[in-house]
Chains A and B, each alone.
Chain A
Amino acid sequence: NAGVTQTPKFQVLKTGQSMTLQCAQDMNHEYMSWYRQDPGMGLRLIHYSVGAGITDQGEVPNGYNVSRSTTEDFPLRLLSAAPSQTSVYFCASSPSLYPNTEAFFGQGTRLTVV
């Protein structure tokens, strides 16, 4: 039972490079989301999706793009990496928002932008 799988686990980018963080879930969950975790700030919502073809912005969306072409996959794209995007990124999924509200998280991606 894979759950939520994020790849890669670690990544170093140069300023200005682009890349995609992959997120896949095998639980047929409707709701998926991306967060970044920074020291002293908890986890902040970047983008989320309530189903295939539907995405919306969270608290800190600038510099990131998402798409949801399938139920299983929710990739996060960094368009032009900046040092301020150095962070740990988490993908999460839920079967539906209500009534079962538990979010299942991937193991995170530690991204360093130099």
Chain B
Amino acid sequence: AQTVTQSQPEMSVQEAETVTLSCTYDTSESNYYLFWYKQPPSRQMILVIRQEAYKQQNATENRFSVNFQKAAKSFSLKISDSQLGDTAMYFCAFLGGAGGTSYGKLTFGQGTILTVHP
């Protein structure tokens, strides 16, 4: 079974600064996808960014970027120019690729609560 670990239960950052959330995963598969989801107090799950394992280039979406280290099985999220609206729970998630034992199963980490202070 795949595992996803977020070792930071809580993080805080000042508005306009940069913060990095950590995520590691364990898998024996070579084909998979990784995600970061945001869950604000409204409880809605919102996709922040997605990374295909076969792509070496790190994904970027505006102020959000990832550092994908496939050999180290690490997938951290960097938020630049933090805004008050970034305050939320952030989940790292793993989706197994076709042909693997975890095909179709989305596995989440425990979550990191991020608070952005004015």
Contact = CB atoms under 8 A, between A and B. Distances in A.
B16 to A, nearest CB: 29
Contacts of A33: 106
Interface string A103-114: 101011000000
Given A90-B45, A98-B97, A105-B45, A41 B105 contact: no
Contact of B108 (A31, A42, A48, A56): A42
B43 A41 contact: no
Q: Give the size category of B's interface with A.
A: 20 to 34
Interface in B1-15: 1, 4, 6, 9
A79 interface: no
Given A97-B104, A101-B33, 9 more contacts: A33-B106, A40-B110, A43-B108, A45-B105, A56-B104, A59-B1, A59-B107, A90-B45, A97-B95
Interface of B: 1, 4, 6, 9, 33, 35, 42-45, 47, 50, 91, 93, 95, 97-98, 103-111
